[in-house]
Structure formats: C-alpha cells, structure tokens
Amino acid sequence: MFEDNHIITKHIREGNLKEFERVFKEFYPQLCLYALRFVKTKDLAEEIVQNLFCQIWENRKDLNIHTSIKAYLYRSTYHNALQVLRKMGSHNKYKEYLKYQYNENESSTNKLEEKEINKIVQQTLSSLPQRCETIFKMSRFEGLKYQEIAQKLSISIKTVEANMGKALKAFRHNLKDYICLF
C-alpha cells in the first residue's frame, strides 16, 4: 500500500506526476463506487472523482493533508458529491443521506456549520472585486469553462485564470478552518 502519507503529499505538492498517478490508480475505482452511493449514476460518480483529482493536481502546491490520504480522498469525494447534489437541487437526497449518516446531534451541528460556511462564502464573494466575483460565479455556479467565460466577457483566458486565482485564494484563506480542499 502507501508509505508515509506526509512523504506522498510532499511528492505530489512538488509535482511528482508518478506519485500522483499511483494515488489515482489506487483509489479511483473505490472512490467512484463510493460516489455512486450518493449520485446514483456511474457517469456522474466518475465525473465527481475525476474533478477531485483535477482539483488536487491544480492546487497541489497548497495541498495539506492532516489525515491519511485514503480518509482525505473519501471525505473530499463525499463533500464533492453533496455539492453536486445541492447544485442539482437534490435537497431531499442530501437530507436523506444526512439522516442515514448522522444522528440528530451531529446533523444539527452540521447544519450550523453549513450556515457558517454559507455566510463566509457570501461575505467572501461580496468582498471580491466585481469582475472577480462575476468570473467566479460563472465558473463555479454556472459551470462554465474558462474559455467560455473569456468569450462571454470578451477578456483573455489569462485574465479569467488570474481572477479565479484571486478568488480561490480568498476562499482558501476564509474557509481554511472548514474545508480541507477548495
């Protein structure tokens, strides 16, 4: 299996593609099955896991895992699957899962934490420069690719990337106590 998680994390943070591929090959099938429990379609489950690994690679320099890699990947898959369900308007599936997964106390704690996170997200969004906020919303809420955003706003892809970098940095800073990867 895997040696010390800190060494693996360090290698990935340094851009070691072989180490990243090894983690991907080891966990991808298991994570797809895990995501499938939530979203119920194979394609969507695979997309969630692929997006997770893309996020990890894109943000590898900021990667900081305090648990085992396996626990980190499963928890991230769980959060990404729930985010997809919320985006799809599947609040009932989300609530059913929370009832199944947590007892009443844990569920109410999660709701409080979710309210705090939503408040921080809204505050962070409103603190961003207007263009930066617009680009972030188009990317994350509307699901547009950088190329599409650049075309719609008549700006360069580099400008989109720079603004997304600024927004993500603000979110990472403001949500560091709540989210392990953003």
Q: What does the pLDDT read at residue 53?
A: 92
Q: What's the average model confidence in pLDDT over 100-120?
A: 61
Q: What does the pLDDT read at residue 40?
A: 82
Q: What does the pLDDT read at residue 2?
A: 46
What's the count of helices (H) and strands (E) in the chain, helices before strands?
A: 9, 0
pLDDT digits (tens, 9 = 90+) for 125-137: 889 999 999 999 8
Q: pTM (2 decimals)?
A: 0.48
Domain architecture of the chain: domains with CATH:
1-101 (1.10.1740.10), 103-182 (1.10.10.10)
The answer on pLDDT for 74 being more than 70 is yes
pLDDT digits (tens, 9 = 90+) for 128-173: 999 999 999 898 888 889 999 999 999 999 999 999 999 888 888 8
Q: How far is 26 from 28, CA to CA, in rounded Å?
A: 6
